[in-house]
Amino acid sequence: MREIVLDTETTGLDPYQGHRMVEIGCIELVNRIPSGNVFHRYFNPERSMPPEALAVHGLSDEFLKDKLFFAEAVDELIAFIGDAPLVAHNAAFDLGFLNAELERVGRPLIARERLVDTLLIARRKHPGGSNRLDDLCVRYAIDNSRRTKHGALLDAELLAEVYVELIGARQAQLILAQASMAGRVAGEPIIVRERVVPLIRAVTAQERAAHRAFIATLGDNAIWRDYVSLD
């Protein structure tokens, strides 16, 4: 399964009030593991940077003046994203700016149904707690010491780690890794296989019925009654 974790930096909060996207960072996950493929671009927003936005990400007019216009990188971005689900923190914000840029250059918009919003997942999993990206990094012991300012690629990298923790995939990966390492010869490549056809139940309905009938003969204090209902 392929997913794209993304983050954006902008000149402000509302793409329909003249604000533009100035940076996008995308991390490819394959089966919830970073593949090493990334997409990262800065964009010339064709407008000045407000001081309050500059204080957040530090991307100045001088730095951005020679960067690509969004229209020059849109084909590469669309190809990288493909049809994968898009994982973002407060995803509606990032999608709003991304779709505004796509609309500006006459490209199809991205459907909201493709979004996986880690902020909503975090709020369900940790109600009442702070679910900012920095706070989630602290909660899951993810090193965010490099995050002195917001940056789309770094934030996407951190979010990819947070996302795996939020959905419980980290523990599943550890269990699979431990299982695959058992009895492995040093230097031997790891081959992960998936069962194409599920196993058929080993116990038939008749065998289960016979087992329950046998347990019924053991008396009311039989320990099996703690695990099998005879009703």
Nearest to 157 by CA among 2, 34, 16, 12: 34
Question: Catalytic: which of 19, 57, 89, 150?
Answer: 150
- Tokens 């064709």 found at: 46
**Count of C-beta atoms within a 10 Å radius of residue 155:** 26
150 is catalytic: yes
Q: 169: Cβ–Cβ under 8 A, 6 or more apart, which residues?
A: 32
Ordered DSSP codes for 157-203: HHHHHHHHHHTTHHHHHHHHHHHHHTTPPTTPPP-----SSPPPPSS
CB 39 within 8 A of CB 122: no
Q: 147: Cβ–Cβ under 8 A, 6 or more apart, which residues?
A: 134, 137, 154, 155, 158
Active site residues: 150
